[in-house]
Amino acid sequence: MAASGRHGAGVDKQRVILDAAIRVFARQGFHSCRVSDVADEAGVAYGLVYHYFSSKEEILNTLFTERWQLMLDAIVEIDSRDQLTARDKLGQVAGFIIDSYRHEPDLMKVIIVEVTRAANTFGRHHLPKIREAYNLIAGIVEQARTDGTFKSDISAEFAAMCFYGAIEQLLTAWIFDVLPKSDEDYERAKGLVVEAICGGLESDAVGAAA
């Protein structure tokens, strides 16, 4: 087994290092932590990190790529369920992302804070992958525009940005304790974010009058 080191029964050191990196990056931030912090957290010698990863950045690369692909796959799968309305599909997407944060807050914090929201320095390299998510969401919106359930004067790309931006802002607010985060808050947010973006903030009476 490739995972078995010389000692323990198959502890995959690469995985151990990745998991430690998630904690350290989330706690101290990618730039303000040292590689030795990751090694210490993993209970591993400094040099071993470079046995498994060619650079500090490659650790972050690996974390992001792994998790982001999972999300892309999930969106594709959700979009393929033809019996769902666009609103329901967007609800599923929002639910997936919110659950991701709920279950792995550290990892999601790292991905959002260090990659997605850092497209300037580091994340620039990942823009294409990030854009794929935008495009998938835009695809869902586009179909709804075609069949008339969504307004046609708001382009799908534009709508996708608003939707994704709202969700990412929610996660960011949770990350930095700007919004409350009980289990109930997470569940409620799933419905509300879709209600806010698809249904709008205005009460139905006003919306109908427009």
Tokens of 83: 């019996």
Residue 2 makes contact with DNA by CB under 7 A? yes
Helix (H, G, I), strand (E, B) or coil at 154: coil
Distance from C-alpha of 117 to C-alpha of 119, rounded to nearest angstrom: 6
Distance from C-alpha of 108 to C-alpha of 128, rounded to nearest angstrom: 19
The nearest distance, CB 110 to a second copy, in angstroms, is 9
Choosing from 33, 118, 161, 173, the residue that interacts with DNA (CB under 7 A) is: 33
The nearest distance, CB 62 to DNA, in angstroms, is 13
Within 13 Å and on the Cβ side, how many CA atoms surround 178? Answer: 7
Residue 34 makes contact with DNA by CB under 7 A? yes
The nearest distance, CB 154 to a second copy, in angstroms, is 6
Residue 195 makes contact with a second copy by CB under 8 A? yes
Q: Is the dihedral of CA 134, 135, 140, 145 positive or negative?
A: positive
Residue 165 makes contact with DNA by CB under 7 A? no
Site string for a second copy, 124-143 (x = CB under 8 A): x--x---x--x------x--
Q: What are phi and psi of 60, to 5 degrees?
A: -65, -45
Residue 125 makes contact with DNA by CB under 7 A? no
Distance from C-alpha of 164 to C-alpha of 169, rounded to nearest angstrom: 8
Q: Please, which residue, 35 or 44, has the CB nearer to a second copy?
A: 35
**CA end-to-end span of the chain:** 65
Distance from C-alpha of 112 to C-alpha of 164, rounded to nearest angstrom: 12
Residue 166 makes contact with DNA by CB under 7 A? no
**Under the rule (CB under 8 A), what is the footprint of a second copy?**
29, 31-32, 87, 109, 113-114, 117-121, 124, 127, 131, 134, 141, 144, 148-154, 157-159, 161-170, 172-173, 175-176, 178-179, 189, 192-193, 195-208, 210
